[in-house]
Amino acid sequence: MTCSHKPSWFLAVLCAFAAAVPALAHHSFAAEFDAKKCSEITGVLTSVDWQNPHAYIYVDVKSAAGAAESVTFQLSSISNLRRGGMERKNMIDNFGKAVTVRGCAAKNGEKNRYAASFIKFPDGKIYRLGQDVEGLFGTNN
């Protein structure tokens, strides 16, 4: 009697472990952004899309010609940003102010589109915004 139950008990435990493996559902940074083309971009923070699966911030950067271009930065999910201490309110409080963002350029050649890793606000505070691909503000390079 006990023996005939053994295989199903074993299977149940095995299945429970299998189900506990975290779902690796995130897509790849490397597919969309080039970790070798990272730089610091300074400009005026104008707006945010604080949403899932990716939040976005928009920064007006003065081009060489002097005109202001809007640069798009892709961030992590809302919960991941929260883990780094970054909330929507932090961004809104800094609208119209000069910020420095460390970002890696988009691969498809699209201009003014980056994946952000860190941001520095005027008060000097630094927050993580996305995947840390090269250390704090590129310190691993």
Partner 1 sequence: MEFLHWLQDSGLATWVRESDALGSTFPYTFLLALHAIGLAMLVGPNVAVDLRILGYGRSVPLGSMEGFFRQMWVGFWFNALSGLVLLPTSAVTFLTDPIFYVKLGSIALAVVTLQMIYGEVFRGRSGRGDTPPTTKAKILAGTSLVLWVVAIVSGRLMAYNGDVRRSTLNAFLLLLLLLLVGGVGWRAIARGPGWGVSLRRSM
Beta carbon of residue 43, minimum distance to partner 1 (angstroms, whole number)? 24
Q: Which of 56, 53, 42, 135 is nearest to 97 (CA)?
A: 42
Tokens of 38: 């990272």
Beta carbon of residue 124, minimum distance to partner 1 (angstroms, whole number)? 26
Q: For the window 39-78, what string marks contact with partner 1 as x by the rule CB under 8 A?
A: ----------xxxxx-----------------------xx
Q: How many CB atoms lie within 10 A of CB 60?
A: 16
AA identity, residue 112 = N
Quote the DSSP letter at residue 127.
E
CA distance 29 to 69: 24
35, 84, 107, 126: residue in contact with partner 1 (rule CB under 8 A):
107
20 touches partner 1 by CB under 8 A? no
3-class DSSP assignment, residue 73? strand
Give, as ranges, the residues between 109 and 138 that touch partner 1 (CB under 8 A).
none
For binding to partner 1 (CB under 8 A), which residues are involved? 3-4, 6-7, 23, 25-28, 30-32, 49-53, 77-79, 82, 88, 107-108
